[in-house]
Amino acid sequence: MIDSYLCSMSTKPQDIFPKIISHCKEYGYVFPSSEIYDGLAAVYDYGPYGVELKNNIKQYWWNAMTRINENIVGLDAAIFMAPKVWKASGHVDSFSDPMIDNKDSKKRYRADNLIEDKIAQYEKKGKTDKATALQNALDACMVENNLGGLKALIEEHEIVDETGSKNWTDVRQFNLMFGTQMGSVAETADEIYLRPETAQGIFVNFLNVQKTSRQKVPFGIAQIGKAFRNEIVARQFLFRMKEFEQMEMQFFVRPGTEMEWYAHWKQKRMNWHLSLGIAADKYRFHDHAKLAHYANAAVDIEYEFPFGFKEVEGIHSRTDFDLKQHMEHSGKKLQYFDPEINENYVPYVVETSIGADRMFLLVLCNAYTEEKLEDGSERLVLKIPPVLAPVKVALLPLLKKDGLPEKAREIMDQLRFHFRCQYDEKDAIGRRYRRQDAIGTPYCITIDHDTLVDQAVTIRFRDTMEQKRIPITEILATIQDELSEEKLLKKI
């Protein structure tokens, strides 16, 4: 028997997160970027296991969008776009956050984030009335773009910065786009932007994709790509970075049906999260009080991180704003002729947008587990959903002699074309099991002397530590059944 517990159940949430960050570096998931030069704030590199996990997350999302939906196709638009794109989308004029500086520490913060943190503190202390009142006041300030009101809330609730100082500047707006130049001579170069979102590449290619893929409305365009935001303050590890990756799908619908599709995708996207076996009570929907200039409905899927419930994915009804704006600024028609109603119209759009990096962080936070065993020992294990695990199978010869390594590698050669495998012969078998637990490997296969006689191996299951003896000929089928993506996708 295993007396297991999540760290979040036994340790204060603020103490869990540093453990996760440390584990990411120690086991090759995430490294600070440019670390030998003391790093670069809010920029990270994915290590050997991190890149595998992130790729698996992206592939699972991609399959859920394009493989099981015949009316959703893919796109990979360029990061650089004509500057007029961002004028048309509204980013040049209104893509900003409320910023506030502390005069003593010289540190910069997002004003709304400071207030949200205070709300979370009230909730943890059971002061629900105060939390609700402050949330309502914050929502009102954000809707009205009341910067003075935001500062008043910060002062009224005696919000301090991380050094304890309450000496604040006024709140002001800060544009988040990174600018750069394109041209052979600096003096005559055109100013362009690193894209702050991936959606606009989809909108400007709407007709290209629709015509070449012969899609009929309703249909969607999916894309995974990098985006860049000059965040006022990037914090909480991978949660808020200046360079990040988005997984977005824009679903084009007939005007008047957008709320039906909005409800559809709201539920489908929550189902995607739950299909991975993550507890439903770790998620919640949060409706936007302040809608973006392009939306008539918006909701976030939030996950309970160690630092509180935070947005992982957004579902938005974007109306026809984007396509109409690009029509106006480009002078090109972006209309669809609907043969069912014999009518031309500009489609409405329902968007689903999830951060690949935030999903990566979610998976690790949910997986990080410390367990106390019956014998009094402890083990640290990453209970990553097996379909996402960076290494699926570890091959472990019991000894480094007597033909066991050769047999282990022979089995590995049979499996490596189906799964990411790892061979490990160093240290005692118990230490190797613990090492694979910390990596998150769901299945370990031990090759012993009996294997050479009965052609069978011992397979160990990460989460339960159960061990079973199975024939070598059944290894592939056993693990394929355990890792069946089809079973998971059918839950969506």
**Digit-coded pLDDT (tens) for 425-440:** 999 999 999 999 999 9
Q: Which of these, 97, 98, 105, lies nearest to 168 by C-alpha position?
A: 105
pLDDT over threshold 60, residue 8: no
Exposure string (b/e) for 215-249, b if CB count within 10 Å is 16 or more?
bebbbbbbbbbebbbbbbbbebbbbbbbbbbbbbb
pLDDT over threshold 90, residue 324: yes
303 CB contacts (<8 Å, ≥6 apart)? 273, 282, 283, 309, 310, 312, 362, 365, 366
462 lies in a domain? yes
345 has which bridge partners?
336
89 lies in a domain? no
144 lies in a domain? yes
pLDDT over threshold 90, residue 143: no
CA–chain centroid gap for 159, Å, is: 29
pLDDT over threshold 80, residue 464: yes
pLDDT given at position 264: 97
What span, in angstroms and rounded, lies between the C-alpha atoms of 303 and 359?
10
Indicate whether 50 and 106 sit together in one domain.
Answer: no
Q: Angle at the Cα of 451 (from 450 to 455), degrees rounded to 5?
A: 125
443 lies in a domain? yes
Total domains in the chain come to: 3
Indicate whether 201 and 343 sit together in one domain.
Answer: yes
Indicate whether 286 and 159 sit together in one domain.
Answer: no
pLDDT over threshold 90, residue 474: yes
Would you place residue 10 in the very low, low, confident or very high pLDDT band (cuts 50, 70, 90)? very low
371 lies in a domain? no
pLDDT over threshold 90, residue 292: no
Indicate whether 70 and 11 sit together in one domain.
Answer: yes
Indicate whether 294 and 400 sit together in one domain.
Answer: no
181 lies in a domain? no
What span, in angstroms and rounded, lies between the C-alpha atoms of 372 and 379?
7
Average pLDDT over residues 263-286: 97
CATH number for the domain including 120? Answer: 3.30.40.230
**Digit-coded pLDDT (tens) for 82-140:** 989 988 888 877 777 888 999 998 888 889 989 988 998 998 899 999 999 999 999 88
Q: Domain ends where: 328, 346, 364?
A: 364
For 306, other C-beta atoms within 10 Å of its C-beta total 19
pLDDT given at position 4: 39
DSSP letter (8 states) at residue 299: E
Q: Domain ends where: 347, 364, 381?
A: 364
Q: Which two tokens stand for residue 470?
A: 């199975």
pLDDT over threshold 90, residue 289: no
Indicate whether 72 and 204 sit together in one domain.
Answer: yes
Indicate whether 254 and 353 sit together in one domain.
Answer: yes
What span, in angstroms and rounded, lies between the C-alpha atoms of 117 and 120?
5
114: domain range? 96-175
**Digit-coded pLDDT (tens) for 32-69:** 999 999 888 889 999 999 999 999 999 999 999 999 99
**Digit-coded pLDDT (tens) for 176-223:** 888 888 876 555 557 889 999 999 999 999 999 999 999 999 999 999
What span, in angstroms and rounded, lies between the C-alpha atoms of 473 and 467?
17
Indicate whether 331 and 295 sit together in one domain.
Answer: yes
Q: Which two tokens stand for residue 19?
A: 């453990």
382 lies in a domain? no
Q: Domain ends where: 145, 175, 205?
A: 175
pLDDT given at position 58: 98
Secondary structure (DSSP) of 94-109: H-EEEEEEBTTT--EE
CATH number for the domain including 357? Answer: 3.30.930.10
pLDDT over threshold 60, residue 6: no
Indicate whether 109 and 20 sit together in one domain.
Answer: no
Indicate whether 156 and 303 sit together in one domain.
Answer: no
Indicate whether 240 and 299 sit together in one domain.
Answer: yes
* 3-class secondary structure per residue, 426-456: CCCHHHHHHHHHHHCCCEEEEECCCHHHHCE
Would you place residue 159 in the very low, low, confident or very high pLDDT band (cuts 50, 70, 90)? very high
Q: Which of 179-193, 264-278, 410-424 comes out lowest in average pLDDT?
A: 179-193
CATH number for the domain including 396? Answer: 3.40.50.800
Coil, strand or helix: which one is 385? coil
> Which helix (H) or strand (E) covers residue 113, if one does?
helix 111-124
86 lies in a domain? no
